């Protein structure tokens, strides 16, 4: 009976680095409050996070990790290139992962008689947890809303972007209707006037890159569909706070029953568990192998003197773009630390040949950068 009274939530992130990290931070916050959390990654990301999973499970006993197939073949243990196979990943998640999720939810809420043979192991694991009471899904994984509704449990959606960004996505249909999209690559500083609350501020270049492609493109339609579907969630969590984006939140609020503005999530977690515990809990879970040889070099630099450069886990650059950034950093004369993925270049420019270090910049980098 005691187990049945304990709250249990399932968290489902979109399988990309920038979506996993804030969802994992939220998971730690919930566990810190004594809530049981089942964190559901795709199978490949589950394997890639083995070390972090072990550290987090030791730090938070109520944090449980599970995996689900994304329906795609897996030839190696490399993160999916989400930005360049978004259509394939989304199609597979909707067709292959969605029915598996429904079966998992059934097992976690205790309806074991309705579970198929492939989910027996999940049902056995569920027996060690309180019955599931809620799902928190990524805001672009709204098939989870359908699955949760079918089994009768509420769903809360988490959008990992700012309120301003989410509001821009919400206004895409209106921009299309007013023939403001698509706009190609011309006149990128033109003001976009049809996003309420951002008149006079928003430029074309500030909108998502898919606003430059035909509006019937599957990627455009995907974001329109997900942004519409998210309004069916019982509540919306935004990684922001009221004082920062109050004017935009007032436009979003009428579309949802409840909005929780609990960000910045990383700062909230830091305030709850402290710096030392935050470091030991591996709050940021990287899908890529981290090179920590830079730490010694960083420790030798003057406090606050180093420029940190990172384009994240998805961006691709041309060789010309990479060289332009590099020349700027070297010419600045300021120490810099630049995180460069091995696949940062487009494939036809040597993306699979490893790190590209131009000879004309190598000396400047050795003098003041890493």
Q: 35-75, pLDDT tens digit by residue?
A: 999 999 999 889 888 878 888 999 999 999 999 999 988 76
pLDDT digits (tens, 9 = 90+) for 7-21: 999 999 999 888 999
Do 243 and 335 have their domain in common?
Answer: no
Check whether residue 325 and residue 224 sit in a common domain: no
Task: Please indicate, yes or no, whether residues 138 and 16 belong to a single structural domain of this protein.
Answer: yes
**From 21-25, 257-261, 295-299, 347-351, the region with the lowest mean pLDDT:** 347-351
Residue at 199 is within a domain: no
How much is the pTM? 0.84
Q: Which of 8, 32, 70, 138 is catalytic?
A: 138
- Is 138 assigned a catalytic role? yes
Q: Are residues 271 and 160 in the same domain?
A: yes
* Within-domain flag for 272: yes
Q: How far apart are CA 296 and CA 73, in angstroms?
A: 39
The pLDDT assigned to 139 comes to 96
229 within domain boundaries? yes
> Looking at the structure, do residues 226 and 355 belong to the same domain, yes or no?
no
Q: Is residue 176 part of a domain?
A: no
Residue 153 and residue 236 in one domain: yes
Asked if residue 282 has pLDDT above 80, the reply is no
pLDDT of residue 200 exceeding 70, the answer is: yes
For residue 124, what pLDDT band results from cuts at 50, 70 and 90? very low
Whether residue 158 lies inside any domain: the answer is yes
Looking at the fold, whether 275 and 299 belong to one and the same domain comes out as no
Same domain, 335 and 228: no
327 belongs to a structural domain: yes
- Neighbouring residues of 364: CB distance < 8 A, sequence distance ≥ 6: 330, 331
Which CATH number is 244's domain given? Answer: 3.40.50.2000
The arithmetic mean of pLDDT across residues 14-36, rounded, is 94
Distance between CA atoms of residues 19 and 22, nearest Å: 6
Q: Which residue has the tokens 């990128």?
A: 188
Residues 68 and 146 in one domain: yes
- CB–CB of 5/32 below 8 Å? no
Pair 276, 353 in one domain: no
Pair (276, 332) in one structural domain: no
Whether 116 is a known active-site residue: answer no
Q: Report if residue 316 sits inside a domain.
A: yes
- Active-site annotation holder among 19, 32, 36, 251: 19
Domain that holds residue 41: 2-164+217-280
- Same-domain check for residues 23 and 98: yes
Domain boundary among 253, 280, 307: 280
- 355 within domain boundaries: yes
Whose CA is closest to 255, among 333, 157, 358?
Answer: 157
Q: How many domains is the chain built from?
A: 2
């Amino acid at each position: 009976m005691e187990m049945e009274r304990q709250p249990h939530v399932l968290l489902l992130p979109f399988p990309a680095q920038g979506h996993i990290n804030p969802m994992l931070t939220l998971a730690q916050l919930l566990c810190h409050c004594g809530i049981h959390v089942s964190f559901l990654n795709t199978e490949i990301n589950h394997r890639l996070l083995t070390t972090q999973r072990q550290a987090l499970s030791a730090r938070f006993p109520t944090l449980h990790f599970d995996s689900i197939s994304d329906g795609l073949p897996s030839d190696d243990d490399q993160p999916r290139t989400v930005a360049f196979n978004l259509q394939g990943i989304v199609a597979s998640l909707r067709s292959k992962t969605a029915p598996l999720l429904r079966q998992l939810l059934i097992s976690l809420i205790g309806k074991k008689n309705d579970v198929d043979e492939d989910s027996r192991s999940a049902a056995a694991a569920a027996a060690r947890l309180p019955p599931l009471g809620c799902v928190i899904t990524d805001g672009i994984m709204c098939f989870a809303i359908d699955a949760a509704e079918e089994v009768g449990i509420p769903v809360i959606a988490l959008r990992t972007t700012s309120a301003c960004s989410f509001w821009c996505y919400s206004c895409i249909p209106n921009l299309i209707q007013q023939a403001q999209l698509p706009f190609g690559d011309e006149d990128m500083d033109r003001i976009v006037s049809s996003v309420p609350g951002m008149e006079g501020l928003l430029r074309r270049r500030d909108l998502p890159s898919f606003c430059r492609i035909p509006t019937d493109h599957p990627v455009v339609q995907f974001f329109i569909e997900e942004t519409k579907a998210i309004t069916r969630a019982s509540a919306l969590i935004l990684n922001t706070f009221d004082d920062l984006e109050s004017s935009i939140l007032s436009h979003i609020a009428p579309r949802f029953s409840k909005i929780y503005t609990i960000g910045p999530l990383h700062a909230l977690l830091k305030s709850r568990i402290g710096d030392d515990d935050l470091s030991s809990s591996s709050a940021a879970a990287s899908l890529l192998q981290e090179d920590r040889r830079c730490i010694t070099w960083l420790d030798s630099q003057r406090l606050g003197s180093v420029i940190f450069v990172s384009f994240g886990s998805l961006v691709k650059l041309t060789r010309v773009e990479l060289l332009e950034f590099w020349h700027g950093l070297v010419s600045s004369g300021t120490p810099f630390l630049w995180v460069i993925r091995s696949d940062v270049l487009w494939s036809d420019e040597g993306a699979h040949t490893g790190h590209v270090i131009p000879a004309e910049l190598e000396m400047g980098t050795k003098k003041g950068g890493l």
